[in-house]
Amino acid sequence: MNQLQLMQTAINKTKMLLGAAAFVAAFTSCNKQFEDIGPDINPSFTNTGSTLNDVINNDTTYSYFKALVAKAGAAAPTAAFSNPSLRFTAFLPTNAAIRKSNPAFSSATNFANALAGSAASIVNYLITPQVLRFDSIPSTFPNLVAPTLLNPTAGTSAFNPLVSLSIFPSKRGTQGWVNNVPLTTVNGSAANAIIHNTDLLVTPPSTTLWSRISTDADMAYFKAAVQRGDSGSVGTARFDSLLNLPVGPNFTVFVPTNAAFQAVLTAQITQALVAQGVPLATAQAQAAALASSPTVFSNPALSSVLTPTNVKGLVVYHMLGAGAFTVNFPPTPTSVPTLLNTVVPTHPGVKLGATFSGPVVTAATVQGVANATPATILINPTPNPGGTSDQFFTNGVLHKINQVLLPQ
């Protein structure tokens, strides 16, 4: 027997009872829809007084946002904002919040000019055609999925009037967030809108999870694992296709660094070789060589161990079926299901936990069933491509971690 095949025993710790067809069938049958939060439990709209458009135009607290609406021109739904019969919730940044987001925005004009190309997208993304008072926002994990006025198919040949990018309000106790941005004041009102102020400018995503995974040099092993798991699959049965869908799915993906993959593969291969009598130094050298490149997943000598089904099982264990920002993680480590649970319902899932300083997450972890210690999420919420936590995409959220999650 080839010595490389002897690593079967050790690497089988990650083997999953997962069939690709069964998984895809389970996933495609449970795409999450926008949640219905029920009727307005505290009616106060009278259809009179200042409309949302009046507030934006006349409250100098929002002069930066007013300039952005003007820059958006006809693409801004100002007629709807002025209609007292319509109902909205607006997540508006104050002037101070916008300057906090980027001190270079020294004036409303400077701000609007700098974001001219995305003005319409931002304006439409910050408005949802639902009434979401703070007490209507659930505190259940991970968050509320709400539609916005931003339709990413508008102006394209694939236009679909039913498509909308989602925004994700959440709360814990008296603190609220939208996506991963804290709310500063809540339940402001206009004749046709509820207004929640945000601590920073919230912007919509424009690219997919796969666009980051497939181009980030430090995610090369995870990319190779996805591609190995996709072997023999076509269309949306392939995870690289699902992760590249611009709208529809809503995932959380925990992506181990290259070093994390190298460490676990080297350790397991070494263990297998030593168990067969290979001297430790020799085993370590052979293992390090095998694990030194993402091509480990396509190495023919390892194909009987790193099969598409086994590797796909490992990939789905790093994914949740809903978008979760670190602010949605519980303060005490708590088990949540992964996509693996769609076909193995009794699996314990992973444990998520976060440390907060006020409304801001300073540390976060995720732990697999067979991991001795939790994996650390590398906290850096700087927007894509530089950040490593709370990376927001049109089809989900990505966090980079320092360990491979082991499901058994």
Residue 265 has pLDDT above 80, yes or no: yes
Q: What percent of the chain has a predicted confidence (pLDDT) above 70? A: 88
pLDDT recorded at residue 333: 97
Q: Crossing angle of helices 258-275/280-290, nearest 10°?
A: 140
pLDDT recorded at residue 305: 82
Residue 269 has pLDDT above 90, yes or no: no
The overall average pLDDT reported for the chain is 89
Q: Are 94 and 100 in contact (CB under 8 A)?
A: no
Q: What is the DSSP string of 50-88?
A: --HHHHHHH-GGGHHHHHHHHHHGGGS-HHHHT-TTS-E
* DSSP alpha helix (H) spans, 13-62: 20-28, 52-58
Across the range 23-34, mean pLDDT stands at: 38
Residue 210 has pLDDT above 50, yes or no: yes
Domain annotation for the chain: domains and CATH numbers: 3-32+207-401 (2.30.180.10), 52-131+166-198 (2.30.180.10)
Confidence category of residue 11, pLDDT binned at 50, 70, 90 = very low
Q: Residue 168: phi, psi to the nearest 5?
A: -130, 85
Residue 13 has pLDDT above 80, yes or no: no
For residue 122, what are its two tokens? 């931002």
pLDDT recorded at residue 30: 36
pTM: 0.89
pLDDT recorded at residue 45: 63
pLDDT recorded at residue 49: 87
Least Cα distance to 227 among 247, 213, 217 occurs for 213
Tokens 């314990």 belong to which residue? 348
Q: What percent of the chain has a predicted confidence (pLDDT) above 90? A: 78
pLDDT tens-digit series, residues 75-93: 999 999 999 999 999 999 9
pLDDT recorded at residue 271: 86
Helix (H), strand (E) counts: the chain: 14, 16
Q: Are 163 and 156 in contact (CB under 8 A)?
A: no
Least Cα distance to 121 among 168, 73, 89, 64 occurs for 73
Identify any residues that bridge with 376 across adjacent strands, giving them in sequence order.
365
Residue 180 Cα distances to 20, 101, 335, 383, angstroms: 33, 13, 21, 11
CB-based contacts of 184: which residues, under 8 Å, 6+ apart? 94, 97, 197, 198, 199
CA Rg value for the chain? 24
pLDDT recorded at residue 237: 83
> From the CB of residue 203, how many other CB atoms can be counted at a distance below 10 Å?
18
> From the CB of residue 46, how many other CB atoms can be counted at a distance below 10 Å?
9
pLDDT recorded at residue 204: 98
Tokens 């993680």 belong to which residue? 329
Residue 36 Cα distances to 32, 144, 220, 230, 390, angstroms: 12, 9, 39, 35, 25
pLDDT tens-digit series, residues 319-349: 999 999 999 999 999 999 999 999 899 999 9
Q: Residue 21: phi, psi to the nearest 5?
A: -65, -40
pLDDT recorded at residue 369: 97
Across the range 101-126, mean pLDDT stands at: 97
pLDDT recorded at residue 17: 35
pLDDT recorded at residue 27: 43
CA 173/CA 273 separation, integer angstroms: 52
Indicate the range of 22-36, 222-236, 350-364, 382-396 predicted with least confidence. Answer: 22-36
Alpha-carbon dihedral 200, 104, 76, 81, rounded to 10 degrees: 50
What sign has the CA pseudo-torsion 59, 54, 86, 150? negative
DSSP at 103: T
Indicate the range of 110-114, 142-146, 247-251 predicted with least confidence. Answer: 247-251
